[in-house]
Structure 1
């Protein structure tokens, strides 16, 4: 079996904790051939004057994963190969979801029309922006406003007193601010400048949410594989007075069993997301509130597996094989 991973450059992987690498290692352990390419290496040629239309192809590298070595992989061969010739194509390009990511999903969708099996499905990636996808399940989310209207954002801040504001295209905790009223009800001294900066003076839509104090116990990443939750989350706990729990912002990752609230949210949305072609989803929960639905390249496989012994990569490969 041949698996193609569409991802960032392999040289940029962190071999100690990369979830895509965990998938690759499990695939190789089962005797599968592991291939990789970058989104920039996808291409399609067709139209009038061309002898043959398509198919979508990529400059692919067939790699052998090495244990305890630097580099951690070796190239076996480099070839241009149609995506439809692989048994499965796994889209694992990290955020941000920018224009090039968007264009890559269209090429991958064309590859689907030509017979390729792509996980997560390209259309589903486009249909579920990671900050906005939660709006479909308002019963699980904190008080939330999505707007670029400065007056509406100020009113939201005044109503809730303690809020988080963030860009819709951020990742790793970038661009997240906490704004708090003073004890006398006065607005945060940075309210205007933060809103002006994030919205670019009303030209860019952002999200505001009521602050959830349970962030002190961690921003929990719950993995859904084939619609079913992994039984452990990774609670990313803020450190050193930081508001953000993101690992990229210095948060401490602690694996823990799912709470009843975690399970209730996962079970309420998991099957529907899977039915839309989202084989792997990472939902973020603070306390008992859903804050994000991550679909582009969910992570935390390694941390959960190392701390609990649960084989997340094995569960993922099993779920993928069940859909081929």
Structure 2
């Protein structure tokens, strides 16, 4: 949106003149829009009155190019004042508006009909209207703020990676992009990114959901993994034992009467095959158990990451994304 500015300033075309202390914050004065029969000397007095009023609110008036038609005319100012003065005999309609050049946003306006006014009364009315704009200018120049509130109260507030306190909380930030993170025990975290603007307070209302349900899946995998790991150890241990005793005498049935001339017993353990099967199955169970435990840990990490809700501005408020 561009703000159309009226013409009629007494300044020469192509000039942008300043009035007031050089160190004061400048405010652009758009070409004043005059309607009706206003003599040139009164127009000059009105411009001088505007400049004096600007000085009273600790600003410096910068009169913009008379050919300017929008609130962005190249002057190095953050705000532009738009003044319209109309006269019908001795009745004066005076309208004052102030805009931000950052986004063409109207910050304030004042309007007054001065009935049966003389020269000095018109100037006093204009000066009074301009000085009422000070509060709006100061609000727009104030440092950006962020206000955090929500459920559960007491959530840890992390701003740009630094812990700044607990909610509810209000903090000043610098203009630019910031990241806000909310964390609480046994709750899913939320992250909100936004661009802070001078004079604007961003309100963030959070609701951290419980994280218990998300942890169950990982816990089940972990339990299954450790059970499988234990069974695998038992299987490997049994397989080793069976391989070790393979070929040995089966003691209770190997009396001297049944042994051959070489002393060999016909009854021996034949457990090698079962032992190797046990080793194989135990190894598979060990591998499966180890894999399940590792996957359970990875799942918990993924769930913790996925549980961080990211909020983005939308036309109706905030959009929550997981």
So what's the TM-score if we normalise by structure 1? Answer: 0.20
Larger Rg: 2
More contact order relative to length (CA 8 Å, sep ≥ 6): 1
